[in-house]
Structure 1
């Protein structure tokens, strides 16, 4: 069980450590990457030794983020000593990939905004009301007295931009907009972020065309799902936005995206209009928010689809 930390206590933990490993969650999105990179820049400015890790591939769509090249993927046989292991935007230990096996930390700190958090770390700062973990990082760096650079501000802004669906999702609050406005004062170029995040490569559009051919409806159109088969999967193609297509079809209440990046691993994304899909994700060891969640099923895609879709269909009995 984690010790709940205040923002000030979280800042003190970070300041006390000399060597830190910062981990972004698997299937990395803009929030986990932007939040982690902003924290990296701030801690390195304090003279800290910081290693960046994600146990997954990073889409090239995020290549504009300052410091993105600092990420590395740990080998299973590695051992890394650190004072503090900091896991960002992950609600459960499995979302950290192999970091908790590779890193030998003095303690594990988890900074998160998911209400489904399983309290797996030694120390936890959790704000489930925050629109994004990046919003938490902004408040944390203010608490720590960080001098905001354009690089730090850009990373935080991108994280908030991602998790609010470019400021259009229902989690966007007045606090969110005030934070974004403050970041602009530190040199953020909104068009740089939006242009990069909205840019679509030819390979992405070509994949989307093939993925949309898999669109399937269940329960009189209340459930819709799409698939990225192993032979179609390409780690260099960002597919996070694909789920928006079944999500916004009239009559669809739950949308799912299945993709198989490895032989016995299937990533599942859930989206809904009102139904709490986080409960389904948690039942499979994942987590997330009421209307946006995900999990990993250690099985081939067709096998994973069978058990997940049955759980989703049971909601409409």
Structure 2
């Protein structure tokens, strides 16, 4: 598979597209492709997030926010579970585009060249495999960026596995990058606006519990993922934080690894809600997102309700196991 992808990426003028408010995993994947398979531009039609912007300035590379896809021989999409994640109404992708992703398949990509490995913690791991399996030199800057993508998408290893750690170690060994350099790449101080948003998020939060499991919901104007982390630091096991922009909402979801081990799968929960509400949702066991047209309070209520259902199932199963005389 990796040889086939590499052959498609060789030659011609390419553009790598990333989802709206692109995170470090998306940007690192796009950057690695642009450096290993020139000539290639990085296209973020709805911008990149704060950490990605910080890393962009530190490493020094261009990200364009406007372009004509007809000017390119190949359009590549990375780390994007559906076309709706570009955040542009009526936007169409060429049928011959190449999609590389690691989220649970949404079924919304209609192109022929769709490569997805949901077992990977980060899309950066797939890009590393393409580079490694095709004998392409892994330069220091590419290695550093891929490390950044792996770090951030695994929650600094909280949601990682042994494969992620092996890939991370491989890059360190091949490039000579030190651990402190990798950790420092994406380390930024929270801005005052983010800190204030987190405080408001906690103040507006609601929570429910089943046994020792707590789900919390809240809404704000921005920094949804950061708000989830704040709620979890305050004691939530699962957190949903959403914001509203006119008729559109954006929602982030996070769960602790303990909840994932017990059976919570936010990717499946959010994907199901997306289908039911005709919105765009997906992700992984411990982290997911949802966006589209809808009322933020109603969406948070649905997320809370689905999670409480899962909590009750987990509690019932644990009670059955504890009552089993053979256990």
* TM tier relative to shorter chain: 0.7 to 0.9
Task: Kindly indicate whether residue 43 of structure 2 is the aligned counterpart of residue 53 of structure 1.
Answer: yes
Instruction: Give the structure with the larger helix fraction.
Output: 2
The change in CA–CA distance for 1:198 and 1:67 in structure 2 (over 3 A counts) is closer
CA RMSD of superposed structures (Å): 2.8
Instruction: Give the structure with the larger strand fraction.
Output: 1
The change in CA–CA distance for 1:242 and 1:191 in structure 2 (over 3 A counts) is farther
Question: Contact 2:23–2:51 (CA<8 Å) still a contact in 1?
Answer: no
Task: Kindly indicate whether residue 173 of structure 2 is the aligned counterpart of residue 178 of structure 1.
Answer: no
Out of 246, 249, 262, the residue aligned to residue 231 of structure 2 is 246
Query: Which residue in the other structure is 1:264 paired with?
Result: 247
The change in CA–CA distance for 1:101 and 1:82 in structure 2 (over 3 A counts) is farther
Q: How many residues get paired?
A: 293
Query: Which residue in the other structure is 2:135 paired with?
Result: 145
Query: Which residue in the other structure is 1:164 paired with?
Result: 154
Task: Kindly indicate whether residue 258 of structure 2 is the aligned counterpart of residue 281 of structure 1.
Answer: no
Q: Deviations over 1:250-273 (max 9, x none)?
A: 4x442111123x322211112232
CA distance, structure 1, for counterparts of residue 66 and residue 297 of structure 2: 29
Task: Kindly indicate whether residue 8 of structure 2 is the aligned counterpart of residue 13 of structure 1.
Answer: yes
Question: Contact 2:224–2:252 (CA<8 Å) still a contact in 1?
Answer: no
Shift of 1:151: 1.3
Shift of 1:190: 3.4
Query: Which residue in the other structure is 2:55 paired with?
Result: 64
Q: For residue 305 of structure 1, give the secondary structure of its aligned residue in structure 2.
A: helix
Shift of 1:246: 2.3
Query: Which residue in the other structure is 2:286 paired with?
Result: 291
CA distance, structure 1, for counterparts of residue 242 and residue 217 of structure 2: 8
Question: Contact 2:45–2:65 (CA<8 Å) still a contact in 1?
Answer: yes
Shift of 1:288: 0.9
Shift of 1:198: 3.4
Task: Kindly indicate whether residue 284 of structure 2 is the aligned counterpart of residue 301 of structure 1.
Answer: no
CA distance, structure 1, for counterparts of residue 147 and residue 310 of structure 2: 36
TM-score, length basis structure 1: 0.81
TM-score, length basis structure 2: 0.78
Shift of 1:67: 6.1
Runs of 5+ consecutive residues of structure 1 not aligned to the other structure: 1-5
The change in CA–CA distance for 1:246 and 1:23 in structure 2 (over 3 A counts) is same
CA distance, structure 2, for counterparts of residue 222 and residue 157 of structure 1: 32
CA distance, structure 2, for counterparts of residue 100 and residue 107 of structure 1: 18
